[in-house]
């Protein structure tokens, strides 16, 4: 009688449930089946050239709005005619230029050391005036 008890205990201890291991193996197999074909079809993507100097030359009837490192805003509505603009009068200055040249293209260039909020501020001022043709001028990092 003692032997039968001992045998039943040893049988219970001696078995290992491999169901969770099989579930894990099956799950990994499915993941590999899905991801391997996706890895084979990846393509090399090269970023575009960030220097817009050649594009800027092709735009006609352009007005440059620049902000330097100090935060000074300059408006160039005629080639070589660049004037300093006070920030709170920016919309009025842009409106005056827009009335004279309704088909103008506004080019915004901000120094890279300035926060992006300054770019948004200049773009927002152009939007309030009604200028639809707005471009951001960028330069490639050296």
| DSSP letter string, 15-74 | ----HHHHHHHHHHHHHHHHHHHHHHT----PPPP---HHHHHH-SSEEEEEE-TT--EE
> ∠ CA 18-19-20 to the nearest 5 degrees?
95
What's the whole-number mean pLDDT along residues 117-135? 91
Residue 51 has pLDDT above 60, yes or no: yes
Q: Which helix (H) or strand (E) holds 134?
A: strand 134-136
Mean pLDDT of 54-80: 84
- The pTM of the whole model exceeds 0.85: no
């Amino acid at each position: 009688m003692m032997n039968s008890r001992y045998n039943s205990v040893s049988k219970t201890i001696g078995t290992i449930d491999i169901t969770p291991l099989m579930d894990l193996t099956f799950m990994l197999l499915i993941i590999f089946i899905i991801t391997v074909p996706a890895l084979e079809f990846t393509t090399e993507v090269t970023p575009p050239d960030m220097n817009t100097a050649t594009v800027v030359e092709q735009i006609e009837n352009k007005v440059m709005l620049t902000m330097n490192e100090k935060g000074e805003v300059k408006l160039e509505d005629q080639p070589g005619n660049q004037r300093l603009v006070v920030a709170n009068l920016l919309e009025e200055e842009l409106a005056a230029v827009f009335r004279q040249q309704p088909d103008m293209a506004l080019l915004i260039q901000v120094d890279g050391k300035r926060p992006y909020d300054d770019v948004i501020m200049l773009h927002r001022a152009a939007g309030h005036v009604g200028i639809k043709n707005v471009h951001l001028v960028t330069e490639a990092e050296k």
